[in-house]
Structure 1
């Protein structure tokens, strides 16, 4: 996100830093803050929401158990990937701890015809979409430009440039209309990205052309080290109606509510209703990335308060209260998660390094003289280090 420029105080005036008061009571107990939709409270009890409940009336306990298993697996993958980065096996990793409900709930409201435009943090979405775990890790290991085939999974490559994916999603959605298709696109973004110009330009175009796109904002309260209250003195979902886009604010730690909200937006898009904006109010329990130290800018109390609203714990309590999650079922969920973590670790550690010359692959759609010249220079440069007899440089050309 854009950071405010630091300036010194004017003569005779004291420097005062604007601080943001985080509303830690935004989602607590069985009575969520007005304006935030919720179906499962933090303590695992049901919440009556006349607007969302009909949208998930078909979700039975078995399906909710699947959502629970998906969230547990996503968290296990996240923990394993974080450990691999600390052990030097990954160059970087963006933790998704605490945001499992937002990712799993939204993904399950989509079809394979819908195109996903993620940020760099939707690795849980990618896994549930079907991407190979080792492939996902290849990006963060520095072995590949992307962890999956965008055309196979209808999911774009991870976007590092903050907010740029919203433009891509809007343009894609406009193309869907021109092609006469009933599918939609969804752009994931964070609260920090909501201040980027790209996001607002996207909403202008989406509203003007009634593009079937969902803007799914995971408000995890921290844009790196700046609290959401510093850049948003009112709910982020309130910005979209100014562009003529209906919005909904939902408990992002409630997987059932997220599923319902995303279905609401998807139904609008597929029926010609145009774009929608969802603000999933959640919390980033971990660091922004493994290069970040969140203890430098947030307190322990805040972390504990949001830990009590854990998205996995509430579904576990809900299912246990309905007699659907016994020890055997819990063991099965844990076993699945451990299996995926082992697959991830094995695939990452045994991942072969890419051949040096493959850096020139997929740069341009057609070959040209400048690329050939660069390839030739780089090949001769690397050959200078090949001092061992038999050393070869495998590349993109045979």
Structure 2
């Protein structure tokens, strides 16, 4: 459908000019003959819903950071600045589709119906995989960079064999595109024409390395080399992200094989709460991206149309605060299993090797009790 311009990226401004968008940074609606048909049904009610989703997501993210700083979570992977990419693409999905996320897709699991406790369970180190994968139709959050792309393609191959009417969708960052797993997944997906959508959230920083070090050309330009059509979209434009995902899903669901989206956005916070971005991020870069804030952009569009009241803004913030409050309550109320319970359910039948490991671990834990006695 759309091929990214294969031109070296000189700076951020040029980078953004090489993206497709429907809402300019100031909220102005931009006409796009290829994307407009995919959002022809989107009215102001839908846009207000997308705004609410992004506001709630940002509040969830802020609460996650606070809980980690207060010692309630071992780690948190912030997604501030990436709300439009996650909400826009996730709200385009059908219930029957299956998602294979990385560790930063808080907004995706929110859109798929996650409950307040689901956002923190894994980061707190509690039992379970954060949520019920079967209920949300979202695979467990993946820490290994890029591994989920292979899982998505394998699942998509199953979809093709069964003739099911669903699509596998996988999310990953710009840093993951340098991993062999991602490229191998794309080769396999193209070779077997499986119904999978690759969503690259190009947030400009792979931990502490800028995207320009890994790719001096648009990342979406790689996909056609594998035989996969791609679209490079402004990731801070929630309407364009919704349209792009609808295009990709239509392509994959109609039997034409995989599709690829590069959403150009920005990670406003650290890579994780164990990171200090001030050590590597150029001065002034964050301020420049704050002026392209995805929430402010949609707010400006709705205000200009006279479709955003102060009452709605207040209600949205109340909703966001209520979700965050329940998230905190769920986190603080979690009861950690006894350490030795880690051996329960490993095998269906008793195993002497496992018994020996349990005894050794019990002795190890007892050593801490003796040291504090």
My pick for the range that moved more, 130-139 or 92-101, is 130-139
What are the ranges of 5 or more consecutive residues in structure 1 without an aligned counterpart?
Answer: 1-19, 388-398
Residue 33 of structure 1 pairs with residue 21 of structure 2: no
Post-superposition Cα deviations, 1:74-109, rounded to whole Å, max 9, x if no partner, equal 000111111111111111111000000010011111
Post-superposition Cα deviations, 1:317-338, rounded to whole Å, max 9, x if no partner, equal 1111111111101111111101
Q: Which among 46, 59, 65 is matched to residue 48 of structure 2?
A: 65
> How many angstroms apart in 2 are the aligned matches of 1:302 and 1:385?
47
> How many angstroms apart in 2 are the aligned matches of 1:165 and 1:98?
23
1:218-229 map, 5 Å: 218-229=201-212
Q: Which among 184, 189, 192 is matched to residue 201 of structure 1?
A: 184
Post-superposition Cα deviations, 1:166-223, rounded to whole Å, max 9, x if no partner, equal 0000000001111110101111010000000000000000000001000100000000
Residue 166 of structure 1 pairs with residue 154 of structure 2: no
Q: SS of the residue aligned with 1:25?
A: helix
2:218 matched to which residue of 1? 235
Residue 339 of structure 1 pairs with residue 322 of structure 2: yes
Q: Is the 8 A contact 1:117 1:187 kept in 2?
A: yes
Q: Is the 8 A contact 1:78 1:95 kept in 2?
A: yes
Q: Which among 117, 126, 141 is matched to residue 100 of structure 2?
A: 117
Q: SS of the residue aligned with 1:189?
A: strand
Q: Is the 8 A contact 1:24 1:305 kept in 2?
A: no
Query: In structure 2, do the counterparts of structure 1 residues 280 and 363 end up closer, same or farther at CA, with 3 Å as the change threshold?
Result: farther
Post-superposition Cα deviations, 1:91-148, rounded to whole Å, max 9, x if no partner, equal 1111000000010011111112111100000012112211222132011111235201
> How many angstroms apart in 2 are the aligned matches of 1:332 and 1:346?
21
| Deviation (angstroms), 1:386 | 7.4
TM-score, length of structure 2 as denominator length: 0.93
Query: In structure 2, do the counterparts of structure 1 residues 167 and 382 end up closer, same or farther at CA, with 3 Å as the change threshold?
Result: same
My pick for the range that moved more, 269-278 or 126-135, is 126-135
Q: SS of the residue aligned with 2:12?
A: coil
My pick for the range that moved more, 120-129 or 93-102, is 120-129
> How many angstroms apart in 2 are the aligned matches of 1:74 and 1:293?
22
| Deviation (angstroms), 1:377 | 3.9
Give the CA RMSD over aligned residues.
1.8
| Deviation (angstroms), 1:376 | 4.3
Structure (1/2) with the larger helix percentage: 2
TM-score, length of structure 1 as denominator length: 0.87
| Deviation (angstroms), 1:368 | 3.9
> How many angstroms apart in 2 are the aligned matches of 1:228 and 1:174?
31
2:258 matched to which residue of 1? 275
| Deviation (angstroms), 1:46 | 0.4
> How many angstroms apart in 2 are the aligned matches of 1:360 and 1:175?
32
1:148 matched to which residue of 2? 131
> How many angstroms apart in 2 are the aligned matches of 1:223 and 1:280?
15
Q: Is the 8 A contact 2:9 2:218 kept in 1?
A: no
Residue 316 of structure 1 pairs with residue 299 of structure 2: yes
Query: In structure 2, do the counterparts of structure 1 residues 77 and 43 end up closer, same or farther at CA, with 3 Å as the change threshold?
Result: same
My pick for the range that moved more, 277-286 or 127-136, is 127-136
Greater gyration radius: 1
My pick for the range that moved more, 121-130 or 279-288, is 121-130
Aligned pairs, number:
363
The structure, 1 or 2, with the larger RCO (C-alpha pairs under 8 Å, 6+ apart) is 2
Q: Is the 8 A contact 1:319 1:325 kept in 2?
A: yes
> How many angstroms apart in 1 are the aligned matches of 2:174 and 2:89?
17
| Deviation (angstroms), 1:348 | 1.1
Q: Is the 8 A contact 1:72 1:334 kept in 2?
A: yes
| Deviation (angstroms), 1:280 | 0.2
Query: In structure 2, do the counterparts of structure 1 residues 366 and 223 end up closer, same or farther at CA, with 3 Å as the change threshold?
Result: farther
> How many angstroms apart in 1 are the aligned matches of 2:239 and 2:86?
11
